[in-house]
């Protein structure tokens, strides 16, 4: 079976990343700025892969790994080589403009990235990990596993943590690692190597893992609140990166909001009030981009539009064929292939239909 990496190809990613406008920043770091149009394209690209990664917090490292289709081998972990102090120049800064807001992605350069990967492997080998309520950046879990727990509920409450990564300081990382049993000297070195300007950079391979560790206390406290709030009604809780999701057949689930906010703030985070939503089963309930009223499914408009896109590509392939220089056709084929794979990850039966159509188009192209 083809991997997502084979379906898209690394060249497709590299071409996109080269579109950004490169400039020199302070302290010698590289800065790449994307226009609002390119930022929307970037978000669209991530949306195709959203069955396994958070759209808003997905790192460049994860993106490239996803395209490669690689499974990294876990070598026998040794104590990480921390090397010298981390500087801003050890990162390339990507600025994505969207709706008037700028999101900053800090990608570590190869040498630092290698050290951070060693740290990540070393921590994982010690059995340290996220809480069972975390579904983002956790092996074997995804938006689908999170959404399934909230299927068929009377009420769903969605809340969002504001500035998730920037809220996690070097001191919080250090404190969390020591709570996990890491000796102070090593914990200090890890916190220094994996933070930038005193906070977790969005783009480092260690940031998702460390953010889940820091949020572990938050997860257990919110899960405890769910157990004690209404003993006669079970309340389900999951966290996908910065997305907090609660669901139950308890009609007054929204009365929990003040208590949730209090715990979130006590744990050093802030709620983004503009993104708080209460979804009742009389209307469409959408969790992490998936509809969950009766069962986990992709929005109807999504697969209808995909079917129309595939029909257009099939007609083009039959009538004109694909010329080697037709990069637009290649990009569109890569896009619909990614969307088909996403649907397959959510709904196998419907996904197989779309994957068969992708193969048909590829056969027409190969003729």
What 3-state class would DSSP assign to 96? strand
Q: DSSP assignment, residue 246? A: E
User: Which residues partner with 196 through β-bridges?
Assistant: 199
What is the token pair recorded at 223?
Answer: 């899960």
pLDDT band at 65 (very low <50, low <70, confident <90, very high): very low
* All residues at 6 or more sequence positions from 34 whose CB lies less than 8 Å from its CB, including other chains: 19, 20, 21, 42, 94, 95, 96, 97
Give the other-Cβ count within 10 Å of 300's Cβ: 10
Cβ 361 vs Cβ 333: under 8 Å = yes
Quickly state the pLDDT bin for 179 (edges 50, 70, 90): very high
d(CA 314, CA 323): 14
Q: Residue 218 gets which letter from DSSP?
A: H
Residue 66 has pLDDT above 70, yes or no: no
Q: What is the pLDDT of residue 194?
A: 96
Instruction: Decide if pLDDT at 174 tops 80.
Output: yes
pLDDT score, position 67: 41
Quick one: what percent of the chain has pLDDT higher than 90? 63
Residue 265 CA to its chain's centroid (Å): 23
Tell me how many helices (H) and strands (E) the chain has.
14, 11
Q: Are 89 and 181 in contact (CB under 8 A)?
A: no
pLDDT at 83: 58
pLDDT given for residue 339 in this prediction: 93
pLDDT digits (tens, 9 = 90+) for 207-260: 999 999 999 999 999 999 999 998 899 999 999 999 999 999 999 999 999 999
Q: Average the pLDDT over 341-353 and give the result.
A: 92
Q: How confident is the model at residue 79 (pLDDT cuts 50, 70, 90)?
A: low
What pLDDT, on the 0 to 100 scale, is given for residue 322? 53
CB atoms within 10 A of CB 360: 14
Distance CA 236, CA 367 (A): 52
* pLDDT (0 to 100) of residue 1: 30
């Amino acid at each position: 079976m083809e991997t997502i990496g084979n379906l898209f190809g690394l060249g497709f990613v590299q071409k996109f990343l080269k579109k950004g406008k490169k400039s020199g920043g302070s302290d010698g770091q590289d800065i790449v700025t994307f226009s609002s149009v390119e930022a929307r394209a970037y978000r669209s690209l991530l949306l195709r892969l959203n069955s396994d990664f958070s759209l808003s917090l997905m790192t460049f490292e994860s993106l490239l790994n996803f395209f490669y289709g690689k499974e990294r081998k876990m070598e026998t972990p040794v104590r990480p080589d921390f090397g010298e102090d981390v500087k801003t120049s050890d990162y390339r800064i990507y600025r994505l403009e969207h709706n008037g807001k700028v999101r900053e992605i800090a990608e570590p350069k190869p040498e630092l990235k290698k050290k951070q990967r060693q740290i990540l492997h070393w921590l994982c080998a010690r059995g340290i990990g996220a809480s069972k309520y975390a579904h983002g950046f956790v092996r074997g879990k995804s938006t689908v596993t999170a959404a399934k727990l909230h299927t068929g509920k009377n009420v769903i409450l969605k809340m969002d943590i504001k500035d998730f990564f920037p809220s996690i300081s070097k001191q919080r990382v250090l404190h969390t690692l020591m709570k996990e049993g890491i000796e102070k000297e090593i914990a200090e070195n890890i916190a220094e190597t994996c933070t930038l300007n005193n906070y977790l950079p969005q783009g480092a391979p260690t940031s998702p893992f460390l953010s889940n560790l820091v949020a572990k206390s938050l997860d257990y406290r919110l899960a405890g609140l769910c157990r004690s709030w209404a003993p006669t009604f079970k309340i389900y809780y999951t966290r996908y990166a910065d997305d907090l999701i609660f669901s139950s057949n308890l009609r007054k689930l929204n009365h929990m909001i003040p208590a949730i906010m209090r715990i979130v703030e006590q744990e050093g985070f802030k709620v983004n009030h503009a993104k708080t939503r209460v979804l009742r089963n009389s209307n469409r309930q959408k969790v992490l981009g998936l509809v969950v009223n009766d069962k986990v499914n992709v929005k109807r408009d999504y697969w209808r539009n995909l079917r129309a896109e595939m029909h257009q590509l099939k007609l083009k392939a039959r009538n004109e064929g694909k010329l080697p220089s037709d990069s637009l056709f290649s990009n569109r084929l890569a896009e619909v292939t990614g969307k088909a794979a996403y649907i397959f990850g959510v709904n196998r039966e419907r996904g197989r239909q779309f994957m068969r159509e992708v193969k048909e188009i590829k056969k027409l192209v190969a003729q």
